[in-house]
């Protein structure tokens, strides 16, 4: 070995200097403790909780890309399902969401903009190029950057960057960067893309480039307004250090967005002036290939790959450069001109962005650099995990370095927190450290069965400075209310379908069962008639025995020339023992009231005659409301709401241009629609009219975009979906009680529960028009108790299906997987499981009975329904 080689050690360090700087070792408490360089004070130890406080499953994520901690908030970016992405701002200790944004969902206050809907692990649109969410700002004014689009997928009219409030996810500003326009020569710039590169209080950095990364341009925006400040076409400028922005040229291939730290071929590191984007320096004329590894306090660690003179192969080395000039610092190792020396490179670096850089050196040692007065690399004399195991640097936090020792020789991976001299300061839980504060620490972990080459899970643990361990999480509180005790053995079972139903099950005579309701001591169910599947039938049976009290098929006589019309959606008038249906009588149409007890027609009320169509839409003890559509005259095809008193059948009022959607509590709710694509009706307004006089009490179209009624049980609250999310309103006044950042597409509830208060309402979050397989789908719970309304977004329920409500209980199904059968669950309003062994899915619970179905139920009249259901006794 030459003398020069003997002097090079670690990242180009002189062994003589190492002995002088780090040779002193002193004993402390029975453990050898090496002195820190330059007489620095040793940081205090760090302790960690053994059990995770929460993990990515709490957030409904299948894969985590990154996490940032800001005060008591954790911002996590990751994937949901196979083709969805999510960014969630949650309580750092509990994982409870404060706001969440999914790809394809509207931005709150975004004026129609939606979160960019990329797919898979490359879905960078909701996170920065490092994989972590891009967060900037301090105090209450911090922000999260995301990409947005305007227009349907494939027909986008605008793509840009939005800054969301860290507090509530609302848009603070948005800036369009790409306005797609197609040309007759095939120059459709929809093939352009963006990246989120970096941000601080001075500038937001993004890029505009082609899909394959050709010709990238860095775009700098004002972090307060989004106004464009400058552009630079040298490459991706992403790391803010002092008054410059460091970046890399494109090189031979585009960067991998989710692993920015991976080296690429033929790249050069360059620096731009942060104020105007002009180039300060470029290493392209100095070295063959350079790659940025870390930077802090005016110094950057650069990996250089070059071919020495007279050699046929390339080698790596590390250099330290002054970020202001691009010149090597006085501590930067240099290769001999004759190429005989081969200084060993650093093998991976991290920094705190302020005052300390840590790298993996040779022989398993740790190399640290404190830029400034003492800017030389210092290699620890101690070895964190043994000389045959490299100490892989994961992160730097408050003068502490979190390192990982790879699994070798049958030994598992090891983890440690050390100081600059590699003295142990604590043993963290397993996983790659990725974010840390004085309260919590986050680690990337690999889940069992994962096929990813990188950790894709997340475990957040309690942390504390000092030797005293933080308190362990107590776990979720148990459900406070006692669940209903549903007998395992049914009182009776009803079957449907073509195959004969063997005793003791009762044959419904239906192709399938579409809707089921409990009405006192009766079960009311509907479905397609087996004898004629073009017609529906309604059946009323005794809840205790299953004995059919009566049934009516569409077209059956109701007396006096009236024939039963649409019966798939029965309207039960509580307290009156009535069931209202539409009827036909020649060219006349109206509403008939049938007795729940025996099916006799109590009364009929003709509403239309001639070329008009009637739909019964809502009913209660006070009034029933119908929608009439005329097909002749000047109002051809226009909807009209007509309201009648239930007791006297007297017409109370009518209003053109609106459709009734709810009745009760002295109000009739009506919607105004606009014609959409393919003949669809798009919601535009929701209006409350007084039941008795038809006077407008409140309206939503002037307050919310595209309001749509999702739940109205006639109680205190209603749930309304909007283009920007969802709201819970006081039914009587229209006053907003609570809001949801997640768009809601469907709600289910079991009516009023005890004392006139609303029971639990279970809604499904997801994109409007999406199917039940929407990757962003999960349950959102609404509860009003003691005058207070609470909304809970249960992100972890995304793996469950068939959300529903039965009284004050949330029901769901855990699908079968890996040989495990499906499970029917009962949960409380906070998503805490109270039972997982129900004999079926509760459709309705009341009056001492529970109606259970198999999992095949499809909501809506166009669904396939279920092949059977059973009625069980409820004890207590």
User: Of 682, 791, 722, 741, nearest to 107 (Cα)?
Assistant: 741
Confidence (pLDDT) at 55: 96
Confidence (pLDDT) at 444: 95
Beta bridge partners, 239, equal 246
pLDDT at 253 over 80: no
Query: Which of residues 389 and 78 earns the better pLDDT score?
Result: 78
Confidence (pLDDT) at 309: 73
Confidence (pLDDT) at 48: 96
Of the listed ranges 94-108, 297-311, 330-344, the one predicted with least confidence: 330-344
What does the alpha-carbon distance between residue 367 and residue 396 come to, in Å, rounded to a whole number? 12
Confidence (pLDDT) at 121: 41
**Banded pLDDT at 333 (limits 50, 70, 90):** low
Confidence (pLDDT) at 433: 96
Sign of the dihedral through C-alpha 514, 517, 522, 524: negative
Looking at mean pLDDT, say which of 110-114, 301-305, 688-692 comes out highest.
688-692
Question: CA neighbours within 13 Å on the CB side: how many for 328?
Answer: 15
Query: Which of residues 861 and 135 earns the better pLDDT score?
Result: 135
Q: Are 744 and 763 in contact (CB under 8 A)?
A: yes
Of the listed ranges 93-97, 449-453, 481-485, 585-589, the one predicted with least confidence: 449-453
pLDDT tens digits, one per residue of 791-802 = 999 999 998 988
Query: Which of residues 751 and 670 earns the better pLDDT score?
Result: 670
- CB atoms under 10 Å from CB of 742, counted, come to 28
As a whole-number percent, the residues of the chain with pLDDT over 70 amount to 87
What does the alpha-carbon distance between residue 347 and residue 364 come to, in Å, rounded to a whole number? 10
pLDDT tens digits, one per residue of 181-216 = 654 444 455 578 889 999 999 999 999 988 776 788
Strand extents, DSSP E, 43-136: 46-48, 54-55, 63-70, 73-80, 84-91, 97-102, 114-115, 134-136
Q: Are 814 and 827 in contact (CB under 8 A)?
A: no
Confidence (pLDDT) at 130: 86
**Which residues in 834-860 are b (16+ Cβ under 10 Å) and which e?**
bbeebbbbbbbbbeebbbbbbbebeee
Chain centroid to CA 140: 23
Please tell me whether the overall predicted TM-score, pTM, comes out greater than 0.75 for this model: yes
Confidence (pLDDT) at 356: 96
Percentages (nearest 5) of helix, strand, coil residues in the chain: 5, 50, 45
What does the alpha-carbon distance between residue 373 and residue 581 come to, in Å, rounded to a whole number? 86
Beta bridge partners, 446, equal none
What does the alpha-carbon distance between residue 861 and residue 869 come to, in Å, rounded to a whole number? 17
What is the torsion angle, in degrees rounded to the nearest 10, for the CA atoms of residue 378, residue 382, residue 385 and residue 386? 110
Q: Are 436 and 459 in contact (CB under 8 A)?
A: no
Confidence (pLDDT) at 335: 53
pLDDT tens digits, one per residue of 425-476 = 999 999 999 999 999 999 999 987 777 768 889 999 999 999 998 988 776 6
Confidence (pLDDT) at 861: 32
DSSP 727-756: EEEETTT--EEEEESS-EEEEEE--B-STT
pLDDT tens digits, one per residue of 629-682 = 987 665 556 789 999 999 999 999 999 999 999 999 999 999 999 987 777 889
Q: Are 742 and 793 in contact (CB under 8 A)?
A: yes
Confidence (pLDDT) at 191: 72
- CB atoms under 10 Å from CB of 787, counted, come to 8
3-state secondary structure of 126: helix
Pairing of strands 506-507, 492-495: parallel
Pairing of strands 801-806, 809-814: antiparallel
Confidence (pLDDT) at 343: 56
**Banded pLDDT at 759 (limits 50, 70, 90):** confident
Question: To the nearest whole number, what is the mean pLDDT of the chain?
Answer: 85
Confidence (pLDDT) at 670: 97
DSSP 287-305: -SEEEEEEEETTEEEEEEE
What does the alpha-carbon distance between residue 42 and residue 399 come to, in Å, rounded to a whole number? 9
Confidence (pLDDT) at 102: 94
pLDDT tens digits, one per residue of 464-510 = 999 998 988 776 666 666 778 899 999 999 988 776 677 778 889 89
pLDDT at 569 over 70: yes
Confidence (pLDDT) at 9: 34
3-state secondary structure of 774: coil
pLDDT tens digits, one per residue of 765-818 = 988 765 556 788 899 999 888 788 999 999 999 989 889 888 788 899 999 987
């Amino acid at each position: 070995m030459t003398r020069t080689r003997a002097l090079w050690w670690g990242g180009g360090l002189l062994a003589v200097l190492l002995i002088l700087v780090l040779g002193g070792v002193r004993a402390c408490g029975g453990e050898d403790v090496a002195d820190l360089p330059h007489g620095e004070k040793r940081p205090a130890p760090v302790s960690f909780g053994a059990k995770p406080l929460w993990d990515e499953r709490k957030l409904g994520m299948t894969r985590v890309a990154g996490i940032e901690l800001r005060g008591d908030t954790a911002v996590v970016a990751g994937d949901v399902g196979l083709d969805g992405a999510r960014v969630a701002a949650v309580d750092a200790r509990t994982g409870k969401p404060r706001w969440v944004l999914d790809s394809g969902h509207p931005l709150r206050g975004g004026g129609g903009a939606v979160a960019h809907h990329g797919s898979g692990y490359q879905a960078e649109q909701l996170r920065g190029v490092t994989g972590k969410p891009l967060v900037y700002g301090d105090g209450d004014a911090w922000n999260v950057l995301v990409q947005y689009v305007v227009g349907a997928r494939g027909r986008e009219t605008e793509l840009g960057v939005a800054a969301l409030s860290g507090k509530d996810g609302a848009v603070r500003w948005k800036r369009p960067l790409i306005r797609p326009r197609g040309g007759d020569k095939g120059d459709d710039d929809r093939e352009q893309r963006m990246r989120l590169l970096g941000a601080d209080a001075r500038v937001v950095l993004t890029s505009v480039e082609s899909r394959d990364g050709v010709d990238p341009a860095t775009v700098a925006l004002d972090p307060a307004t989004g106004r464009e400040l400058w552009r630079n076409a040298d490459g991706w400028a992403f790391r803010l250090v002092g008054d410059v922005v460091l970046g890399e040229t494109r090189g031979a291939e585009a960067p991998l967005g989710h692993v920015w730290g991976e080296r690429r071929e033929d790249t050069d590191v360059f620096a731009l002036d942060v104020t105007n984007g002009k180039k300060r320096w470029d290493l392209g004329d100095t070295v063959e290939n350079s790659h940025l590894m870390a930077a802090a306090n005016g110094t950057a660690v650069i990996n250089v790959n070059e071919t020495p003179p007279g050699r046929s192969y390339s080698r790596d080395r590390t250099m330290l450069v002054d970020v202001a000039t691009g010149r090597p610092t006085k501590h930067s190792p240099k290769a001999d001109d004759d190429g005989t020396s081969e200084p060993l490179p650093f093998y991976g670096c991290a920094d705190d962005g302020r005052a300390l850089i840590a790298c993996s050196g040779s022989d398993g040692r740790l190399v640290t650099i404190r830029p400034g007065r003492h800017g030389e690399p210092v290699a620890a004399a101690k070895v964190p995990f043994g000389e045959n195991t490299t100490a892989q640097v994961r992160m730097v936090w408050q003068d502490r370095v979190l390192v990982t020792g790879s699994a070798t020789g049958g030994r598992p991976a090891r983890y440690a927190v050390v100081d600059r001299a590699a003295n142990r300061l604590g043993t963290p839980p397993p996983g790659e450290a990725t974010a840390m504060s004085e309260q919590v620490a986050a680690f990337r972990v690999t889940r069992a069965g994962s096929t990813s080459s990188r950790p894709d899970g997340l475990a957040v643990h309690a942390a504390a400075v000092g030797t005293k361990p933080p308190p362990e999480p107590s776990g979720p509180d148990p459900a406070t209310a006692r669940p209903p005790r549903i007998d395992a053995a049914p009182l009776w079972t009803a079957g449907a379908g073509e195959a004969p139903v063997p005793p003791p099950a009762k044959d419904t005579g239906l192709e399938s069962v579409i809707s089921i309701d409990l009405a006192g001591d009766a079960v009311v169910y509907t479905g397609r008639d087996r004898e004629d599947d073009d017609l529906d039938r309604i059946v009323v049976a005794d809840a205790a025995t299953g004995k059919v009290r009566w049934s009516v098929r569409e077209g059956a006589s109701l007396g006096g020339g009236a024939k039963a019309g649409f019966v798939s959606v029965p309207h039960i008038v509580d307290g009156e023992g009535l069931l209202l249906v539409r009827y036909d009588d020649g060219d006349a149409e109206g509403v008939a009231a049938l007795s729940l007890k025996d099916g006799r027609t109590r009364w009929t009320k003709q509403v239309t005659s001639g070329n008009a169509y009637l739909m019964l839409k809502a009913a209660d003890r006070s009034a029933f409301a119908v929608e009439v559509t005329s097909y002749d005259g000047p109002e051809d095809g226009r909807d009209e709401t007509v309201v009648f008193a239930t007791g006297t059948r007297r017409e109370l009022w009518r209003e053109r241009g609106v459709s009734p959607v709810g009745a009760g509590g002295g109000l009739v709710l009506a919607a105004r629609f606009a014609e959409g694509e393919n003949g669809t009706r798009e919601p535009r307004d929701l209006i409350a009219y007084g039941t008795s006089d038809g006077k407008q009490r409140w309206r939503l179209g002037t307050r919310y975009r595209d309001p749509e009624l999702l739940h109205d049980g006639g109680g205190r609250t209603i749930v309304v979906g909007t283009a920007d999310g969802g709201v819970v309103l006081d039914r009587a006044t229209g006053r907003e009680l609570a809001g949801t950042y997640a768009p809601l597409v469907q709600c289910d509830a079991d009516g009023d529960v005890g004392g006139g208060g609303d029971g639990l309402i279970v809604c499904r979050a997801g994109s409007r028009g999406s199917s039940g397989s929407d990757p962003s789908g999960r349950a959102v719970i609404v509860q009003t108790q003691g005058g207070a309304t609470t909304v809970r977004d249960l992100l972890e329920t995304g793996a469950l299906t068939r959300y529903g409500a039965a009284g004050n209980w949330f029901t769901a199904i855990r699908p079968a997987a890996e040989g495990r059968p499906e499970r029917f669950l009962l949960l409380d309003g906070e998503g805490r499981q109270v039972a997982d062994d129900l004999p079926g899915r509760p459709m309705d619970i009341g009056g001492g009975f529970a109606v259970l179905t198999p999992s095949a139920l499809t909501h809506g009249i166009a669904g396939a329904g279920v092949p059977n259901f059973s009625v069980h006794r409820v004890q207590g």
